[in-house]
Structure 1
Amino acid sequence: MVHPAAHDAEFACQMEQVLEVYARPYDARYPVVCMDEQPKQLIDEVREPVVAPDGTVREDFEYARRGVCVACMFVEPLAGWRTVAVSERRTAVDWAQHIKEVVDAPCYRQAERITLVCDNLNTHRLASLYEAFAPDEALRLARKLDLLHTPKHGSWLNMAEPELSALTRQCLDQRIGECGRVADACQGLGRDTQ
């Protein structure tokens, strides 16, 4: 990978911070959670698929677009924990709602601080909590989080990316026409202990 010389120092600094966090031993009081998100186009069948005598499913080439939704993957690699939240949009308020669900998850009630590794999307900021919640609630959530952003053009350092790739290949590689059905398909990946 080639990086412009002016950005090498910034990239290296941010990369080292992420790698240092990944090198920490497991501590349930200070979990490291990685998150990433991706849109999923909602596509519905126009005609019912036909099952051939040999068992293969034949889908018609025609389909109906039903919009998009967003699958947001949260992974704690050292604990073997992951979950997926699905929303209709990718706004600061949606992100804040997902963060609240993670912070308040039963497995993190005893956590003192959660290090959240994420990319540099403009909604991935503590300020998003203040857009979504009253100041007291936003501050409660912010006090529980240490945000760590991957370097620009270095989102591949986020351990949620391969999990999201597996989710896409194993669960979301089919026509799904509703946001709720995307959430159902995501549950098929397993290991969700929330």
Structure 2
Amino acid sequence: MAHASILDIEQEDYEYLQSLCRCRTIQAQIVDRAKILIYKAQGESIAAIAERIDVNVNTVKLCLKKFKEGGIDLALYDKPRPGHPVEITDDAIAWIVALACQRPADLGYSQELWTLKNLHQHIQKNAQEAGFPRLATITKPMVQKILHKSEIKPFKIKYYCEKRDPEFEQKMHDVLLVYKQISLQFKEDGSLTVPEDGVVVHTVSCDEKPGRQAIATTGEDLRPTADTGCVYRDAEYKRLGTLSLLAGIDLLTGEAIPLVSESHKSSDFINLLKKLDSKYPGRDVIRIICDNHSAHKSRETKNYLASRPEGRFVFVFTPTHGSWLNMIESFFSKMTKQMLKGIRVKSKEELAERIYLYFEEVNKEPVVYRWTYKMDEISQDEAVKVGVKSNSN
């Protein structure tokens, strides 16, 4: 027996259809048409849909035919007949869209974002004064339809990162130049090239995860069984304090170097630098990629760097709001998913021990992180010509 075909509907459109089915003020035939599309998207046959909604099979077929010809709007709403006056003019629609694009707080409301209910009420209340009396009786589904067709989503926030650093492109180029130079340190077989003078440049991607909560359970976790299938945990918990994690990733070897601290100060960052200083041969260069946190540029940090041989440490700073350029962010993301998510401990000391244990486990099979974004924009000649470059911005 052949299976009924499944109607392919975008998730956003599917949610819109569901909202129409929940609406109590919309016409019954529009609700029926929305249900037809939903049921077909779930894989039901035409006959089954017709029986379920109590309509003729031809009604179902017509609705699906209109969807294939013109999408959701054509399937749900009848086209106006010739000579039928347009009830909601283009100017009225433009006014609704303009309202939806405004901030409710600027119009005297408490909320930051519109809800469909608030926007609908505002439109009805102000339509007469704005010169659109027809909109005084507009329905919420019609407002929703207008917004949907205009692709306006005033109820939703998407975050972006504004480039407030006027030298963003140049600083990004400096970081990408470092990644290009790192790639040139590897031979085709994956082994490292040792310079003729024997001085190796070790590039370490550094960052911090401050304020890691040590959280204890108030009751023992119940381990999965054949009946439960998952871990059961008491919803109550106890906060035991916070720790800060400072770490670096050696971009040549993939080795992760951790430092767990009670605080997040310049002295903690200096302790990480001391750890790196003792790790690598004295003649080598330690190049640090990090963000613009004050601890990385403080007087205390500069005093420590001045006590080291000239050229021992070289700093390359990511641009403001450009921390995503730092490869250790990928490591921290992986660490959060694998180890920190849902972690429960009996003390801060246990949290520190388990963090160090995670680094030990990772370093048994280190992963060398490779950067690919915009690498084709950096030529090999430029990378060789520039050499080891630092910036102090």
Which TM class, normalised by the smaller chain length?
A: 0.7 to 0.9
Higher relative contact order (CA 8 A, sep 6+): 1
Aligned to 1:81: 255
Aligned to 2:315: 147
TM-score (norm 1): 0.82
Instruction: Report the residue type matching 2:344 in the other structure.
Output: R
- Structure 2 CA distance for partners of 1:85 and 1:177, relative to 1, 3 Å: farther
For residues 18-59 of structure 1, the C-alpha deviation after alignment (integer angstroms, 9 at most, x for no partner) is 111111123671111101111311111122222353363321
| CA RMSD across the alignment | 2.6
Instruction: Report the residue type matching 1:97 in the other structure.
Output: N
| Greater Cα offset, 15-24 or 175-184 | 175-184
Higher helix share: 2
Instruction: Report the residue type matching 1:37 in the other structure.
Output: E
Aligned to 2:180: 23
Query: For residues 364 and 320 of structure 2, what CA distance do their matches in structure 1 show?
Result: 29
Query: For residues 307 and 331 of structure 2, what CA distance do their matches in structure 1 show?
Result: 30
Instruction: Verify the 8 A CA contact 1:72 1:86 in the aligned structure 2.
Output: yes
Aligned to 1:169: 337
Query: For residues 235 and 306 of structure 2, what CA distance do their matches in structure 1 show?
Result: 47
Aligned to 1:182: 351
- Note the 1:1-194 alignment, pairs <5 A: 3=162, 7-8=165-166, 10-24=167-181, 25-26=184-185, 29-39=200-210, 40-54=212-226, 56-105=230-279, 108-125=280-297, 127-129=299-301, 139-140=307-308, 143-173=311-341, 174-186=343-355, 187-188=357-358, 189-191=361-363
Segments of structure 2 that go 5 or more residues without pairing to the other structure are 1-159, 186-193, 366-393
Instruction: Verify the 8 A CA contact 2:244 2:264 in the aligned structure 1.
Output: yes
- 1:148 Cα offset (Å): 1.1
Instruction: Verify the 8 A CA contact 1:85 1:183 in the aligned structure 2.
Output: no
Instruction: Verify the 8 A CA contact 2:213 2:243 in the aligned structure 1.
Output: yes
Instruction: Verify the 8 A CA contact 1:33 1:77 in the aligned structure 2.
Output: yes
Count of equivalent residues = 185
Instruction: Verify the 8 A CA contact 2:289 2:315 in the aligned structure 1.
Output: yes
- 1:181 Cα offset (Å): 2.4
- 1:130 Cα offset (Å): 5.7
- Structure 2 CA distance for partners of 1:119 and 1:51, relative to 1, 3 Å: same
- Structure 2 CA distance for partners of 1:101 and 1:179, relative to 1, 3 Å: farther
- 1:64 Cα offset (Å): 0.5
TM-score (norm 2): 0.43
Query: For residues 235 and 332 of structure 2, what CA distance do their matches in structure 1 show?
Result: 27
Query: For residues 322 and 247 of structure 2, what CA distance do their matches in structure 1 show?
Result: 18
Segments of structure 1 that go 5 or more residues without pairing to the other structure are none
Higher strand share: 1
Query: For residues 61 and 161 of structure 1, what CA distance do their matches in structure 2 show?
Result: 30
- 1:176 Cα offset (Å): 3.2
